Amino acid sequence: MRRTKKERQRLLSETIAENPFVTDEQLATQFQVSVQTIRLDRMELSIPELRERIKDVAAKNYENEVKSLPIDEVIGEIVDIELDNRALSIFDVQEEHVFQRNGIARGHHLFAQANSLAVAVIDDELALTVHSNITFVKPVRAGNRVITKAIVIGRDNQNNRTKVEVTSTVNGETVFVGEFDMYRTKGKGE
């Protein structure tokens, strides 16, 4: 179904407003046009590229919210956070993040994204990883976008501990899971 340029651009603006993290490739598939057409439409509409939209959302919404570490020390871009509840980040795997011989992402990058998100979700000035149980489920490659979700699943206020479950996906498929036992300086409500 062919749309007029005006209609496509209107729908494109609405789609990006609803989900600022949608890629040009996803938009091209959705609107059945080339990626170049999407880029030209975005330029005409003064809609920045994805990386800039992510940075803009993070800067506006989360820079003053995260207490346990500076926002620029989080690996990946935080795109949603509710302290002591849940957080979401995006990490785009580049060539420098993979082994040259096989193109598979080095595990410490995926772990760093998950661990820094587990720290960031804690509503405290200090949060440290005491213990983690992690599983690398599938290989991740250059060009993949890793979406990592952290969910607080338990608290032990007596011992100042919080359990955080972290799941990383690429294109909806789980690539990494972990459970992080986090130390915080105070229990909830103190």
Q: Is the pLDDT of residue 63 over 90?
A: no
Band of pLDDT at residue 59, cut at 50, 70 and 90: low
Burial class (CB in 10 A: 0-12, 13-18, 19+), 87: buried
> HEC states along the chain?
CCCCHHHHHHHHHHHHHHCCCCCHHHHHHHHCCCHHHHHHHHHHCCCCCHHHHHHHHHHHHCCCCCCCCCHHHCCCEEEEEECCCEEEEEEECCHHHECCCCCEECHHHHHHHHHHHHHHCCCCCCEEEEEEEEEECCCCECCCEEEEEEEEEEEEHHHCEEEEEEEEEECCEEEEEEEEEEEECCCCCC
Structure tokens at 47: 């809609």
pLDDT of residue 187: 55
Segment among 36-45, 48-57, 171-180 with least mean pLDDT: 48-57
Amino acid at 95: E
Average pLDDT (33-41) is 92
Cβ neighbours, 10 Å, residue 58: 22
Band of pLDDT at residue 53, cut at 50, 70 and 90: confident
Band of pLDDT at residue 81, cut at 50, 70 and 90: confident
Band of pLDDT at residue 49, cut at 50, 70 and 90: confident
- Say what the pTM is: 0.69
Band of pLDDT at residue 163, cut at 50, 70 and 90: very high
- Ordered by where they begin, the domains of the chain are 5-47 (1.10.10.10), 64-184 (3.10.129.10)
Nearest to 134 by CA among 121, 158, 150: 150
Q: Name the packing angle between helices 35-44 and 5-18 (round to 10°).
A: 80
* Tens-digit pLDDT profile for residues 92-151: 999 999 999 999 999 999 999 999 999 999 988 888 999 999 999 999 999 999 999 999
